[in-house]
Structure 1
């Protein structure tokens, strides 16, 4: 067993097997059946490139053999940071075939995140594009990977999407190059179904993200049950524009769930509405995954006028609560689509609303658990269950919910109850229907369009600025993104600071761009709670009131 991994207790594992949730097969074994059953169907579309199930199987097996020849082996950790391209999917299945564990990094991550992931996971390999376009120009990955490799001796292999430079291997070439090793080498590998098949990333409140081990058994079931509730079948076509490694696009039901059912996945690397509408029409897209911020952009874009969207049967929304008005407007513009609100966490538990739910339930709740053996409690600060209708912290356990973060036993002791319930930090209330309503969170996070930002991580960096005496980062409401980050700062005597200067300073710490504050408010001192702590609640109310006043002033003008 991988050191630092917390397995499911034996009695629960036996129950999940008896119920048929766990099949005791690796993801590679699960998909071997899928690739054979649907061999001639189209599995994946990326621009003009198409892969049948048989071709995806063949090309991922070839890459797996080439990676074996480079020295990768079962349980090695790999950090892929790739955009929504077919190479990610090929790599993902190749890694599963040799039992490597990918870490679900994003192409928006930079040195600060990449160095953390490699160190935390003791990763042997990283995979990255040569460069990506971003605001202000082009970002090249090789220089930051040079630094990570110099600092972390565990990092031995570097794969680049494109032409390889010094110390790199070309992922593109490894995909195309006929393997020297025989195919039998893959069947000789032993991959334990109870071992992790991926490390998803937490949206934790501390500066360092936690690694979420998802096992072969639980991740396969996660995708299958999500696909069932999302109405996926062999005729379904998914348009995927959300970041490909996130839990929702990858597995809820995502790529895995659609392929389990012989469906087609269309990849696209940006969220421009006009391009999405064209792809919907071209490929007869039936399912779209969105966060509310993206859906708001879609329904308000001029290109929607005249767009043929009648093929869309389901729009799955996650990441944050959708306002009822957005859902109602979406129904008008997507005439055949069911808007399926869901609540999910990379740690496991999924809740979806269902077709046939009452209108109030559809408009006000985030759904109910997808599995009969998902156990949900709403608890108070002392761990006692609250009465139905009252607000409590969501605690859960089940056949696809983790039993511990990787390698952090002290943290796990705080985040899990003695009987194995994960304390999520999300505040919820149970609706009379049995569905749940999100009421906020205990965790100190900003939810920017579905990306969870640790306030503490950014605060620790801002405190390093020589002008700053104290700082508190809080969410501020935003019509498009749901929330953005506002940094409240108390400056040292005689110091000055503005937002562009602060952002430029944070850029020197090489964090992902989505983590940068988008407003700076200066105060002589912070409001405090009755316990003497900075009252982020009061600061949140203050910025919300300020924004409301500014909106009224602008409207009056």
Structure 2
């Protein structure tokens, strides 16, 4: 049963409609309109395959009919774990068209996360590739089915083995069931970065997410001539919508799908496909900056490099234009809503030293102290926000919503920022128990719970430690139950065997006799972070 999450009060919804933020568009309708107006124009390029808007629309109708005949209905949830391949777009738009909800999983997730998503969302299906990046997702599906034998369908894009094939679902496009979908309906569920336990699910409506697309397109100046190269996994909110692949399709541009983000993969693609814009996280940007002077690829088509997901150092930011010959655009946002951009015509000091300003004039931003009182400009505080594309509550999370949202609907982002007098945001850090590992958010509590399952561990606490490349890495401090203290590599293997995604495995594990405590007797993670920063690696 679908549980309706908290949404915007009617007075706000009315205001957003009257002000033209919410136009009553749906994703299924948007693609149909683009196919009608753009026809044979290429929408997606993957390797040597070019898919037109018309071909994409017909494929979506074909799959929509197949999903519907399979029993996936309006409101059904489907966990989608697909890499950067055309099937990702065919699947999600087919689900949009029948009013079913994709639950966006990342290719890096493993059995622990996938089992949770399927169980919590009460999913009717799980969609995977066969093999990607050398990893067999059918093996992962078997692990999930062992834990959740009642999962109705596993659908594979590729060689199916015992599962259902995505191609086998395709029907005559004329059989598209033409389900009525409201723009105010929930379109999909995204994953939160999460600071406590496993990820929360973020409900996004057609109205609010499409608004974020066309506002992003305005700021980023996307047109039908734009070529967006998707170097990051497209299920992430950032390359999905800022403006990302969906923003590009909304603009009528062309999406080029890259199978990875290394210069060996991406630089030749930029040259071949004449990409005009792409998005990366800081660690990847640093690799590109180091590689560019030593390569001969023609990157002259690239107009904008977006960097987001974590704070980009000013020194690295200064190197983008000299090394890559394009403009830098800093992006700071969250899957829950608010997105900030530096503008393409901003002065260099703003582009280098800030993370931009909100993209919408209807974004409300507060920076407050620990008592929720506003702080002056240039003083760091907690970032709170609400607006036409920032959610009002997580899915099935009543207790968490009371903490994450103020009574008047402001979302507590967990970010520590300061606002410049010009209204630009400068990110200073996080106030939540979360590690930002090169743009991948890791909830300490989730990893700690897995560590506590080990028979030799009495207690565990994981914290961030500074890293010049990733921004932050993770360090887990563990207390032994007895005299046996397994080596760090043994504990890491234990976590992998429990189905934890690789980026969540602690970079460092240290045994400790007792945790430092705060004045009220709680574990002092501040003291542990200081300890992690000073200790040499023990891996």
Shorter-chain TM-score bucket reads over 0.9
- Write the mapping of 1:248-287 to structure 2, written as runs, cut at 5 A: 248-287=238-277
Q: CA deviation at 1:2?
A: 4.3
What secondary structure sits across from 1:73 in the alignment?
coil
Does residue 178 of structure 2 align to residue 182 of structure 1?
no
Q: CA deviation at 1:150?
A: 5.3
Residue in structure 2 matching 1:408, options 381, 397, 400: 397
Report if the CA contact (8 A) 1:239-1:267 is conserved. yes
Note the aligned Cα RMSD (angstroms).
1.9
State how far apart, in whole Å, the 1-side matches of 2:464 and 2:526 are. Answer: 10
What secondary structure sits across from 1:163 in the alignment?
coil
Residue in structure 1 matching 2:458, options 435, 456, 469: 469
Q: 1:519-554 deviations in whole A, cap 9, x for unaligned?
A: 12222222222222222222222222335x99xxxx
Report if the CA contact (8 A) 2:292-2:324 is conserved. no
What secondary structure sits across from 2:319 in the alignment?
helix
Residue in structure 1 matching 2:438, options 431, 449, 453: 449
- Gaps of at least 5 residues in structure 1 are 551-557
State how far apart, in whole Å, the 1-side matches of 2:136 and 2:334 are. Answer: 31
Q: CA deviation at 1:178?
A: 4.2
Report if the CA contact (8 A) 1:298-1:304 is conserved. no
Does residue 278 of structure 2 align to residue 288 of structure 1?
yes
Q: CA deviation at 1:493?
A: 3.6
Residue in structure 1 matching 2:161, options 153, 158, 165: 165
Q: 1:399-441 deviations in whole A, cap 9, x for unaligned?
A: 0000100011111111111101111111111112210111111
Q: CA deviation at 1:143?
A: 4.3
State how far apart, in whole Å, the 2-side matches of 1:486 and 1:192 are. Answer: 46
State how far apart, in whole Å, the 2-side matches of 1:9 and 1:447 are. Answer: 32
Match of 1:418 in 2: 407
State how far apart, in whole Å, the 2-side matches of 1:46 and 1:208 are. Answer: 33
Match of 1:156 in 2: 152
Match of 2:371 in 1: 382
Match of 2:96 in 1: 96
Report if the CA contact (8 A) 1:100-1:197 is conserved. yes
State how far apart, in whole Å, the 1-side matches of 2:168 and 2:50 are. Answer: 18
Report if the CA contact (8 A) 1:235-1:263 is conserved. yes
Q: CA deviation at 1:310?
A: 1.2
What secondary structure sits across from 2:189 in the alignment?
strand
Q: CA deviation at 1:104?
A: 0.9
State how far apart, in whole Å, the 2-side matches of 1:497 and 1:446 are. Answer: 24
State how far apart, in whole Å, the 1-side matches of 2:400 and 2:330 are. Answer: 31
Report if the CA contact (8 A) 1:487-1:517 is conserved. yes
Match of 1:142 in 2: 138
What secondary structure sits across from 1:316 in the alignment?
strand
What secondary structure sits across from 2:535 in the alignment?
helix
Report if the CA contact (8 A) 1:149-1:156 is conserved. no
- Deviating more after overlay: 266-275 vs 487-496: 487-496
- Write the mapping of 1:188-207 to structure 2, written as runs, cut at 5 A: 189-207=179-197
Match of 1:306 in 2: 296
What secondary structure sits across from 1:217 in the alignment?
helix
Match of 1:522 in 2: 511
State how far apart, in whole Å, the 1-side matches of 2:145 and 2:455 are. Answer: 30
- Give the alignment's TM-score, normalised by structure 2: 0.96
What secondary structure sits across from 1:301 in the alignment?
helix
What secondary structure sits across from 2:477 in the alignment?
strand
What secondary structure sits across from 1:182 in the alignment?
helix
Match of 1:113 in 2: 113
State how far apart, in whole Å, the 1-side matches of 2:512 and 2:2 are. Answer: 48
Match of 1:368 in 2: 357
What secondary structure sits across from 2:203 in the alignment?
strand
- Write the mapping of 1:321-340 to structure 2, written as runs, cut at 5 A: 321-335=311-325, 337-340=326-329
Does residue 223 of structure 2 align to residue 228 of structure 1?
no
Match of 1:554 in 2: none
Q: CA deviation at 1:268?
A: 1.2
Residue in structure 2 matching 1:351, options 331, 335, 340: 340
Residue in structure 2 matching 1:212, options 196, 202, 208: 202
State how far apart, in whole Å, the 1-side matches of 2:35 and 2:246 are. Answer: 12
Residue in structure 1 matching 2:305, options 315, 323, 333: 315
Q: 1:450-498 deviations in whole A, cap 9, x for unaligned?
A: 1100011001111222222222211122222221111122223422222
Report if the CA contact (8 A) 1:128-1:160 is conserved. yes
- Gaps of at least 5 residues in structure 2 are none
State how far apart, in whole Å, the 2-side matches of 1:28 and 1:178 are. Answer: 17
Q: 1:161-215 deviations in whole A, cap 9, x for unaligned?
A: 112233x2111333xx442x734x433x121211111111011112121100000
Q: CA deviation at 1:296?
A: 0.7
State how far apart, in whole Å, the 1-side matches of 2:262 and 2:67 are. Answer: 35
Q: 1:280-312 deviations in whole A, cap 9, x for unaligned?
A: 000111101100011111111267432211111
> Are the structure 2 counterparts of residues 521 and 18 from structure 1 closer, same or farther at C-alpha, using a change threshold of 3 Å?
same
State how far apart, in whole Å, the 1-side matches of 2:359 and 2:125 are. Answer: 35
Report if the CA contact (8 A) 1:80-1:104 is conserved. yes
State how far apart, in whole Å, the 2-side matches of 1:6 and 1:317 are. Answer: 32
Report if the CA contact (8 A) 2:61-2:174 is conserved. no
Report if the CA contact (8 A) 1:394-1:424 is conserved. yes
State how far apart, in whole Å, the 2-side matches of 1:478 and 1:432 are. Answer: 30
Report if the CA contact (8 A) 1:2-1:195 is conserved. no
Match of 2:449 in 1: 460
Report if the CA contact (8 A) 2:379-2:419 is conserved. yes
Report if the CA contact (8 A) 1:428-1:440 is conserved. yes
- Deviating more after overlay: 345-354 vs 248-257: 248-257
